[in-house]
Structure 1
């Protein structure tokens, strides 16, 4: 298997079915517990699905993610006090990456924020969404309303042929072609109201589609009727994001890591880096100025044996870091990983060793992404 084995996704949480549960099973999906749901890890195999997405277009069910709508009197300054984002520069319909931080600057979650006409649409991680909702309720004033959009599903259509497949199916005031990376708009998709943004978690061009859960099976059928599209499971989603050098919450970032250690400075807007006024600002502003003792880096390993989360990283006999994500890259035909290492050993080209199954494997610090992003940014 090119990525995590199925048991890596098993979590001790009460399981709920996704809106597409029967749809996945009818297509032969192998279902595993993840983030409180039974989710499809693969249909025909992780390598085949990974390669198909890189070459054509794959449909991912990401309805386990939390979709929230934040609205009410004073919502903009209230949300700015909780997130390190500059909402004054956030245009309507344009998603932006941000972070939910604790008082010490540790990462509670990473998320996407979009300005809608009456408030802000947030997409948060599935495994943390209930904690996120509780945190927001605690820290936002009573005048601000948090609506959990639990009657909505979320699909991701990813790959170089995603646009060709989706353009046939949508209508609306906005041409799909006008959406560049990190832009969104309302459309009709198979006659169903949908919010579509040009974004994703694979490094490929693609779209994320929020729509009513009651319509998602019919829409998924319609999308998969397109010759470019196949359904893709959780396993290939993880191997694709690993090649794209994208962090996974709970693995590559946790409350024990700061955004600066994790290389996520872009999630903190420029004005906030000096003004502060968000949780953990003191530590983060200090780390921006002074640096950190460790950094999150990419690693390319020699041989074919992959390093998994928790593998220790060495220079000589001294441990200098720990792997947070790792697997075998189908695109590169070699194992890759991401790890936190001591800052003095974090420069690209640095030679390290990773201990896997009692053996020391040679590894080289590598820039990320391992496979270049192919986001559609316009001409």
Structure 2
């Protein structure tokens, strides 16, 4: 089974560093290193963590101009792609004809092309979707580059030591600059709620760069376990869990990612798959909403935990979509979908854990405030 899994350019380094490897989205990936998940999580929150995210899909879209490509892509996403400034990045998602979510992604205006990062498990379907539905646009998967994420409050100072040009980058800026003499595509973004960067580097130079970053005492290797608890504390969705084809972006609380120009009036409003449902939910409100949940006690309510109204014998509401113990929060945390009438922070609910209903209350997201560089 392990032989059939793909390997990232940092696979040998992970093994050298004693990582525990697990299957993830068709790849053999490190779930934790010697520090363990708890310490890796806390180290990222206080210093800097280095993540291998090379399993993600990197895609370049080219056409007659950036504007032509952007307007074409807007037929598949409810996002203002054409209005994205040069050297800027934006969060978005592909929608289905029924308003569900096919994948979430990052889009960057790199001048002569659009650069996209998509989820590993969805990249083949995403590329097929774009290839079939974007006439006049060349869709090319980038297969010769690794993707590293340097995250945490010390990430800026660490990377500035390698590339002074990164010092002035704001959250969601993108630039091309040399690291150790190698041209890298860098965005000031990430998946932890902390300041940080995602670095696309030629595959053959990835290990050299990773070792150089890890030589800084502020940087530690971090695995998928801590990546998951960090993003959950930050209230960020994981595709295939908190969002999927059964959830709309409005139900998921992603309204902020649908810019006004795509909502009402004007030539670019609507025109994306599922627009009728999504625009109606924006105007009238959805029947359910993704919420944060704080279980009482120390036991997490993990994915799949059934949710109920708080009253004795209360009706079933849905299930938890993500749940874990939050090392920074110092308490268990979960996310799930509940009827809109029960989505206000402070609302008492219950979750069924090992056959017993335990109390939980709805909480505002994120659980831990973001620390992006604005």
TM-score by length of 1: 0.94
Whether the aligned pair in 2 keeps the contact of 1:224 and 1:230 (CA below 8 Å) is yes
1:326 equivalent among 319, 323, 327: 323
Give runs of aligned pairs for residues 96-135 of structure 1, distance below 5 A. 96-135=90-129
Question: What's 2:46 paired with?
Answer: 55
CA distance in 2, matches of 1:227, 1:163: 14
Q: How many residues align?
A: 363
Query: What per-residue deviation string (whole Å, max 9, x for no partner) do you get for residues 29-79 of structure 1?
Result: 000000110000000200010011011000000000000000013323211
**Counterpart check, 1:350 vs 2:359:** no
CA distance in 1, matches of 2:252, 2:195: 24
Q: 2:198 aligns with which of 203, 208, 217?
A: 208
Q: CA deviation at 1:331?
A: 1.1
Partner of 1:197: 187
Distance 1:237 1:122 in 2: 21
* Unaligned ranges ≥5, structure 2: none
Distance 1:69 1:157 in 2: 22
Deviation at 1:296, TM superposition (A): 0.2
Query: Is the Cα contact below 8 Å between 1:106 and 1:255 reproduced in 2?
Result: yes
Distance 2:276 2:167 in 1: 42
Distance (whole Å) between structure 1 residues aligned to residue 207 and residue 145 of structure 2:
12
Matches within 5 A, 1:353-364: 353-364=350-361
Is residue 42–residue 234 contact of structure 1 (8 Å, CA) maintained in 2?
Answer: yes
2:71 aligned residue:
77
SS of match in other structure, 1:128: helix
Q: How far 1:119 sits from its partner (Å)?
A: 1.3
CA distance in 2, matches of 1:59, 1:27: 13
The answer to whether residue 300 in structure 2 is matched with residue 306 in structure 1 is yes
3-state SS in 1 of match to 2:211: helix
Q: Alpha-carbon deviation of 1:151?
A: 0.6
Q: CA deviation at 1:342?
A: 1.0
8 Å CA contact retained: 1:66, 1:126:
yes
Q: Is 2:36 the counterpart of 1:42?
A: no
Cα distance in 2 for residues equivalent to 1:155 and 1:257: 29
In the TM superposition, 1:274-293 aligns within 5 A as 274=264, 275-293=269-287
1:137 positional shift: 1.1
Give the alignment partner of residue 168 of structure 1, picking from 158, 161, 169.
Answer: 161
CA distance in 2, matches of 1:187, 1:122: 18
Whole-angstrom CA distance in 2 between matches of 1:80 and 1:289? 20
**After the TM superposition, which of the residue ranges 263-272 and 40-49 deviates more from structure 2?**
263-272
Give 1:13 deviation, angstroms.
Answer: 11
Instruction: Kindly report which structure 2 residues correspond to 1:134-149, keeping only aligned pairs within 5 A, or say none.
Output: 134-141=128-135, 143-149=136-142
CA distance in 2 between partners of 1:376 and 1:170 (Å): 17
Answer with 109-118 or 81-90: which moved more: 81-90
Q: Secondary structure at the match of 1:16?
A: coil
Residue 104 (structure 1) shift: 1.1
Bigger CA drift: 303-312 or 32-41? 303-312
The answer to whether residue 332 in structure 2 is matched with residue 338 in structure 1 is no
1:27 and 2:17 are equivalent in the alignment: yes
1:226 maps to which residue?
Answer: 216
Cα offset for 1:87? 2.4
CA contact (8 A) 1:263 1:296 kept: yes
Corresponding residue number in structure 1 for 2:230? 240
Name the CA distance, whole Å, in 1 between partners of 2:238 and 2:16: 29
Contact 1:13 / 1:36 at 8 angstroms: preserved in 2?
no
Cα distance in 2 for residues equivalent to 1:62 and 1:341:
32
Matched, 1:86 2:87: no
SS at match of 2:324: strand
Matched residues in 2 for 1:112 and 1:13: separation? Answer: 31
